[in-house]
Amino acid sequence: MTATSTKADRRAAICDAVFELLGEVGYDRMTMDAVAARARASKATIYRGWPSKPELVMEAVEHRYGGAAQPPDTGSLRGDLFAQLTAVCAAACGPDGAVFTGLLTAATHHAELAEVMYRCAYSTKHGMYESMLERAAARGEVPPGTSADLLHEVLHAMVTSRRMWQSGPLDEEFVERLVDGVLMPILQRG
């Protein structure tokens, strides 16, 4: 095993420990020392690698979800939205959904975490929504210059609020209702 792979393995173990602890105790009760203990790493390794808890969380999220994502390309905006929203709902329903809900809640009280979550959940994913809408505009499905900001905000707000309030399943019926009843009408108006 090379030094590079050992370092990568160590970082992966630390990131996995972060997610485990976030799921078990939440952001506020997760400590850098607990991460070190769970990952079987020295405290010095943790503190040297990450200057703050929000940066450690950001690294864990990026490790888990790989930063920027490629947009689905089904040949239609409706198909792209359906595919993307289905993936978002699947993630929200999975074990990490509760972690993200907790992080978003904690971000309302921690400015540095809010900045990190914005970078992770919004900035790194925004280009995907821009690409989807550029392709849709080229096909004549939406007016040129249709706001990716609006799409991104509405899509994620709807999923997050449904997840947080547990007001129903994030299933195919929800996806279809959101795509056909909310997103397509908003986007087609420009």
Q: Can you give the residue range of the structural domain that contains 104? A: 67-189
Within-domain flag for 61: no
Asked if residue 73 and residue 51 are part of one domain, the reply reads no
What count of other Cβ atoms lies within 10 Å of the Cβ of residue 40?
A: 10
Q: What angle do CA 36, 8, 43 make, to 5 degrees?
A: 20
Asked if residue 113 and residue 27 are part of one domain, the reply reads no
What is the mean pLDDT of the segment spanning 101-108?
89
CATH code for position 131: 1.10.357.10
Pick from 78, 59, 73, 91: nearest CA to 156? 91
At residue 67, the pLDDT reads: 63
CATH code for position 49: 1.10.10.60
Pick from 116, 94, 93: nearest CA to 104? 116
Contacts of residue 186, Cβ cutoff 8 Å, sequence gap at least 6: 150, 151, 154
Pick from 15, 152, 180, 169: nearest CA to 90? 169
Q: How many structural domains does the chain have?
A: 2
- pLDDT digits over 128-174, tens only? 999 999 999 999 999 999 999 999 999 989 998 898 888 889 999 99
At residue 1, the pLDDT reads: 54
Contacts of residue 86, Cβ cutoff 8 Å, sequence gap at least 6: 172, 175
Asked if residue 52 and residue 71 are part of one domain, the reply reads no
**Percentage of residues in the chain having pLDDT higher than 90:** 62
Within-domain flag for 180: yes
Asked if residue 89 and residue 29 are part of one domain, the reply reads no
Please state, rounded to an integer, the average pLDDT across all residues of the chain: 90
Asked if residue 39 and residue 130 are part of one domain, the reply reads no
Asked if residue 79 and residue 51 are part of one domain, the reply reads no
- pLDDT digits over 44-68, tens only? 999 999 989 998 998 898 888 766 6
Asked if residue 30 and residue 80 are part of one domain, the reply reads no
Contacts of residue 149, Cβ cutoff 8 Å, sequence gap at least 6: 126
At residue 178, the pLDDT reads: 97
